[in-house]
Amino acid sequence: MLPKLFGHRGARPEVENTMAAFREARRQGVSAIETDFHETSDQTLVVMHDGKVDRMTDGKGEISHMTAADVARLKIKGDHAVPTADDVLSFAHDNNLFVDCEIKCPDNPGVEKRIAAKIRQHEMGEHVVITADEPGFLQRMKTEMPEAPTGLVMRAKPLYKPTAMLAAGGAVLGGVAAALTGVPLVAGAVVGLVTVGGAAFHFIKRHLQNKGLNQGSDHLMPHWLLVDKHLVQKAAAQGREVVPYGVNGEARGERLQRLGVYGLITDYPERFTTQ
C-alpha cells in the first residue's frame, strides 16, 4: 500500500533532489519522498530532476554523457553534491522512509536489472514504488522485481499547446460567426474561445486519462490537472490508487482529496494533513 503523502523533490524545490532536501522532508514528518533517477555513461544511478545538469548545478551537459566521477564534481546551489541512488536509498532505509523512484532513463538497455539490484542491496524492495511515463519499462520492471509496485506517471503537457491552438481557432470562428449574425465581434470571439478551448481541453484530458487507465501499472501518478471523478472512479474499479503530483496549493489539495485520490505528491508537505 502506498503512503498518503509524498515530499516531492524532498520538500525543498530550491535545492531539489539533494540530501539536504530529503533531510528537511524527514524533519517535516513525511513518511515518503519522491525523487528522480538518471544513469551516467558508466551506469551509475544518480538523483536529479533534469536530464541536463545546467539548471541545477555549476556544470553543463547531459548526465547520460557524464561518468559518475564527472557528476560527483558538480555542485548544486548551496554547495550541495548531487546524490547517488545509494545515498538516497541508504538514507531512506535508515529513516524508515518510503521512496517513489521515478526513472528518467527507462530506455537504457538493462536498466531495470540495475535498479532492482540497487533497491534490493538496500533492502528497500517493499518500501518503494517504481514510477515512469513508459508503460513498457514498467512491465519489464515488474517482471524483474515483482515485489515492488509500479506507478504510471501521467503527464499533462499534451493539454497545453493543442488546447491553446484550438482555443485560438475557436476565437476566430466565433468572431466570424458573430460578424455574420450581428453579435458584437469581441463577445463572439470570447464565446468561441471558451467553447472550443473548453471542449478541446476536455477531449484531450479524457484521452490521456483513458490511455493511462488502459496501461498495466499497479497505480497511477497523474499530474493534478488530469484528475477528476472519472479518473478516480475508473482507477478504483481496477483496484488502483491515484496519487497526483505537483499538488502545492492547499485549496487544490483539498479539492483532490474530496475527489477521492489516495494520496498527494507535494513540494510542501507541511501544508497538508493525512487522515
> Model confidence over 178-188: pLDDT tens digits?
555 555 655 54
> Does residue 228 carry a pLDDT above 70?
yes
pLDDT, residue 275, reads 45
Mean of pLDDT values over 255-266: 94
Q: How far apart are CA 235 and CA 186, in angstroms?
A: 42
Mean of pLDDT values over 233-249: 95
Most confident of 156-160, 194-198, 264-268: 264-268
> Does residue 192 carry a pLDDT above 70?
no
> Does residue 30 carry a pLDDT above 60?
yes
pLDDT, residue 7, reads 79
Q: How far apart are CA 6 and CA 98, in angstroms?
A: 9
Tell me if 132 sits within 8 A of 161, measured CB to CB: no
Name residue, grid cell 479518473.
Answer: 231
Least confident of 99-113, 135-149, 183-197, 230-244: 183-197
Tell me if 146 sits within 8 A of 117, measured CB to CB: no
Name the pTM for this structure: 0.83
- Read off the DSSP letter of residue 242: B
Confidence of residue 64 (pLDDT cuts 50, 70, 90): very high
Tell me if 38 sits within 8 A of 49, measured CB to CB: no
pLDDT, residue 166, reads 52
> Does residue 137 carry a pLDDT above 60?
yes
> Does residue 242 carry a pLDDT above 70?
yes
Confidence of residue 176 (pLDDT cuts 50, 70, 90): very low
The burial class, CB within 10 Å (0-12 / 13-18 / 19+), for 241 is buried
Q: How far apart are CA 250 and CA 228, in angstroms?
A: 17
Confidence of residue 78 (pLDDT cuts 50, 70, 90): confident
- Chain centroid to Cα 18, Å, comes to 17
Q: How far apart are CA 208 and CA 234, in angstroms?
A: 13
String of DSSP letters for 29-71: T-SEEEEEEEE-TT--EEE-SSSBSTTTBS--SBGGGS-HHHH
